[in-house]
Amino acid sequence: MFAALLLAVATAACGDDSTDSPTGPGETEKVTAGVIAILDVAPIYLGKEKGFFSKRGIDLTLETAQGGSQIAPNVLSGKYQFGFSNVVSLLLAKSQNAPLKVVANGVNSTGNPQADFGGIVVKDPAITSPKQLEGKKVATNALKNIVDTSVKDIVKQDGGDPNKVSFVELAFPDMAAQLDAGNVQGIFVVEPFLSSAKAKGWKTVGAYADVDPNLCVALYFTSLETQQAKPDLVKRFTEAMNESLSYANSNPDEVRRILGTYTQITEEVRKALTLPKWPTDIDTDAVNKLADLSVEYGLLKSKPDVNSLLP
């Protein structure tokens, strides 16, 4: 799965631009960050707009991709200086010795299973608990990532056998139609697709918060090469990112507004969204829990060195 990451390391170009160059007054450094056009990354868009990066000498360009597995190779090759990815994908990359380093928190669960930004939705009124997903098909946006790992743990916590759940890979926008048609019996969706599904009268039977109240869902990262060659840039990016996370956490109306600038989500839908939490501190315990679950559910043969991945 992560062979492309390791190939990117081998082919990464090294040049004079790898030297750290702290900016002077009025000077800026061009930086590209790879993100996914979803609610989770609203803070970095707000931070760019509010000048949190430019005041630290960073001329930030945001490039979108489908997922973290596409972003990581571009970070390792130097095309992007920073990237955003779910925690499980980063742990998988770490297990393959991909030289990545987390620099800032990304997004966390709300801590409330009844009002979280990602969860399991079912249409059949006969399904009232996660355990009843045994023998059923559940849609995940990607196999072997944080979504199917979360579903497995939610089912197990309810006394079910996670190995009896079948997973179908579907893009988030396509899940509701497949659930409605009966091709899957459950879907794990994030906002805005979660609010849209619940508006149909469908119900949730599990959420990120069931895995861990403080579940750390995603993180911002860089390559070890960038970290070692440009420590001042990494420091400034982290400071700007932390200011962006704090601003987003304290200004929900601004989050809903900025979301309309980089997605096609309508204002009416944005008003109804359940927003996640954006703390600046990385919950190490939650990341370790995901690492343990990745081993328990067969994604990893052994637990990677979480401390060497985190700041």
Q: Which residue from 187, 2, 208, 3 is spatially nearest to 106, judged by alpha carbons?
A: 208
The letter for the amino acid at 178 is Q
Distance (Å, whole) CA 272 – CA 87: 27
Q: What's 108's DSSP letter? A: E
Question: Phi and psi at residue 95, in whole multiples of 5°?
Answer: -65, -20
- DSSP, collapsed to helix, strand or coil, labels residue 170 as coil
Q: What does each C-alpha distance from 231 to 76, 102, 234 come to in angstroms?
A: 16, 13, 5
Q: In the structure encoding, which two tokens stand for residue 279, read together?
A: 């703390």
Question: Phi and psi at residue 63, in whole multiples of 5°?
Answer: -115, 135
Q: Do domains 3-9+19-109+214-309 and 118-211 have the same CATH topology?
A: yes
Sheet holding 166-169, edge to edge: 166-169, 137-140, 186-190, 118-122, 203-207
Fold (topology level) of 3-9+19-109+214-309: D-Maltodextrin-Binding Protein; domain 2 (3.40.190)
Bridge partner list, 35: 64
* Helix, strand counts (H, E) of the chain: 14, 10
Fold (topology level) of 118-211: D-Maltodextrin-Binding Protein; domain 2 (3.40.190)
Q: Helices marked H in 130-283 — which ranges?
A: 146-157, 172-181, 193-198, 208-211, 224-229, 231-250, 252-262, 267-272
Per-residue pLDDT of the chain (311 residues; tens, 9 = 90+): 444 444 444 333 333 344 455 555 568 999 999 998 889 999 999 999 999 999 999 999 999 986 777 899 999 999 999 999 999 999 999 999 999 999 999 999 999 999 999 999 999 999 999 999 999 999 998 888 899 999 999 999 999 999 999 999 998 889 999 999 999 999 999 998 898 899 999 999 999 999 999 999 999 999 999 999 999 999 999 999 999 999 999 999 999 999 999 988 889 999 999 999 999 999 999 999 999 999 999 999 999 999 999 99
Q: Which residue from 188, 138, 131, 134 is spatially nearest to 168, judged by alpha carbons?
A: 138
What ranges make up the beta strands (E) of 92-148? 100-108, 118-122, 137-140
Domain locations along the chain:
3-9+19-109+214-309, 118-211
Q: What's 280's DSSP letter? A: S
